């Protein structure tokens, strides 16, 4: 768990950033109704396919969207789990800090022991 905390943290930041864009939120809203190909996603927007693809890539990197590996269509799907995780920002960070302060406590105790050894 603790090994992945920093990576989680980083991905959480990416998720927040990915959500801070109207087009990308619209894409997620569309995917919440069902999987879709890039072409289908591009349809309602006045955007080129490369532009839509870039948005999808951002969502993919943030873990919000997963893509199929079959055929050339590679349909996009919403990763609802990532949204659930991001909905508990505070809970996630609480765990991170808990672990940090455990290590801080260990460090303080080590210092205290070293101090005692010196004065012995």
Partner 1 sequence: MSDATRTDEAVVMERQFDAPADVVWQMWIDPDEFSSWYGPNGASVYVVTWELRVGGARLVRMTVPTPRGETTMWFAGEFLDVVENRRLAYTEYVSDENGNPASTSASGMPKPHPTTEVRVALSEVNGRTTMVMTHVGIPADSPGAAGWTVAFDKLATHLRGHPAS
Residues that bind partner 1 (CB under 8 A): 2-7, 10, 13-14, 16-25, 28-29, 32-33, 47, 51, 54-55, 57-58, 61, 78-81, 83-84, 87, 89-90, 93-94, 97-101, 103-109, 111-112
Q: Which is nearer to partner 1, 18 or 41 (CB)?
A: 18
Neighbours of 97 (CB within 10 A): 11
Q: Which is nearer to partner 1, 49 or 80 (CB)?
A: 80
Nearest-CA neighbor of 29 among 55, 48, 10, 68? 55
Q: Which is nearer to partner 1, 7 or 71 (CB)?
A: 7
Neighbours of 26 (CB within 10 A): 14
- Alpha carbon distances (Å) from 93 to 68, 96, 98, 104, 114: 31, 5, 8, 16, 32
């Amino acid at each position: 768990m603790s090994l992945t905390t920093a990576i989680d943290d980083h991905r959480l930041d990416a998720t927040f950033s990915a959500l801070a864009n109207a087009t990308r939120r619209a894409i997620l809203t569309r995917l919440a109704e069902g999987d879709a190909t890039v072409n289908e996603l591009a349809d309602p927007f006045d955007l080129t396919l490369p532009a839509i693809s870039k948005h999808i890539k951002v969502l993919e990197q943030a873990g919000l969207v997963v893509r199929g590996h079959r055929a050339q269509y590679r349909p996009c799907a919403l990763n609802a789990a990532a949204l659930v995780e991001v909905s508990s920002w505070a809970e996630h960070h609480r765990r991170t800090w808990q672990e940090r302060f455990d290590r801080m406590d260990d460090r303080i105790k080590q210092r205290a022991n070293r101090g005692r050894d010196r004065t012995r």
